[in-house]
Amino acid sequence: KAGVTQTPRYLIKTRGQQVTLSCSPISGHRSVSWYQQTPGQGLQFLFEYFSETQRNKGNFPGRFSGRQFSNSRSEMNVSTLELGDSALYLCASSRGGGGINEQFFGPGTRLTVL
Amino acid sequence: AQTVTQSQPEMSVQEAETVTLSCTYDTSESDYYLFWYKQPPSRQMILVIRQEAYKQQNATENRFSVNFQKAAKSFSLKISDSQLGDAAMYFCAYRIILTGGGNKLTFGTGTQLKVEL
């Protein structure tokens, strides 16, 4: 079974631009969560999508948005990029039902904002 | 708000020895899930072990086991017979059980584990 895939793996943008990151979950998984990892703030939850609906949201500004498609693939968009948005962005997928519901992480997208 | 604290930024262990990584958390919930994740230099997060708070029995996965003390809100990870491949950043994580379901993990700051020959 293929794991979680994220594209692109590396991205360089300049301040003020916008960026879209993609995450393809494991087949059969309906939940996709996004996390931001930085040296200063650590791992922080951005949002979770389940069956094309945002189910949970972290404390990030509105510049960070996402969506999920009918095939469970998810995209995350960051508009008006700031230097502080430089980070490793991880997505994780799970079946999304009840119970402990293990999350499987992708390899991440490394975003550098210049 | 829930918080997760890992007080050991770095730990070292000799190969084949045992090491324990500490984690405490703060929550007012009575039921939740706890996890330990490993992040090697490749940055791929890998689930090491998980624990449901309602289960008193400590979880075990091969060389990895936890000491879950619910009253003390403590969730330490013990790695036995340490191997070079265990060298990584280890994150403790908490997940609240939400009425509508959901996968919102709160992570600690991590412990960098070094394994020495």
Residue pLDDT, tens place only, B19-66:
999 999 999 988 899 999 999 999 999 999 999 999 989 999 999 999
Q: Nearest-CA distance from A46 to chain B in Å?
A: 9
Q: Which two tokens stand for residue A83?
A: 């230097």
**Residues of A at the B interface, defined by Cβ within 8 angstroms:** 31, 33, 35, 42-45, 48, 50, 55-56, 58, 88, 90, 92, 94, 96-98, 100-105, 107-108
**β A109-113/A10-13 pair status:** parallel
**Pairing relationship of beta strands A19-24 and A10-13 according to DSSP bridges:** unpaired
How far is A67 from chain B, CA to nearest CA, in Å?
Answer: 16
Nearest CA in chain B to A100: B33
- pLDDT, greater one: A102 or B20: B20
Here the contacts of B15-19 (C-beta below 8 Å, separation 24 or greater) are B15/B82, B15/B83, B15/B84, B15/B115, B15/B116, B15/B117, B16/B81, B16/B82, B17/B81, B17/B82, B18/B78, B18/B79, B18/B80, B18/B81, B18/B82, B19/B78, B19/B79, B19/B82, B19/B113
Please judge whether B101 and A98 are an interchain contact, meaning their C-beta atoms are less than 8 angstroms apart. yes
Q: What is the pLDDT of residues A7-62, one digit of tens each?
A: 999 999 999 999 999 999 999 999 999 999 999 999 999 999 999 999 989 999 99
Percent of chain B surpassing pLDDT 70: 99
Longest dimension (CA), chain A: 42
The pLDDT tens digits for A48-97 are 999 999 998 999 999 999 999 999 999 999 999 999 999 999 999 998 77
Which site among B37, B52, B103 would you substitute to test the A interface, given the most A Cβ atoms closer than 10 Å to its Cβ? B103
Beta-carbon separation of A50 and B33 below 8 A: no
pLDDT at B113: 98
Nearest CA in chain A to B105: A45
pLDDT at B101: 72
Residues of B in contact with A103 (CB under 8 A): 47, 103, 105
CB B77 within 8 A of CB B20: yes
A107: pLDDT confidence band, cut at 50, 70 and 90? very high
Measure in Å the smallest separation between the Cα of A6 and chain B Cα atoms. 11
User: Which of A56, A100, A104 is nearest residue B98 as measured by Cβ atoms?
Assistant: A56
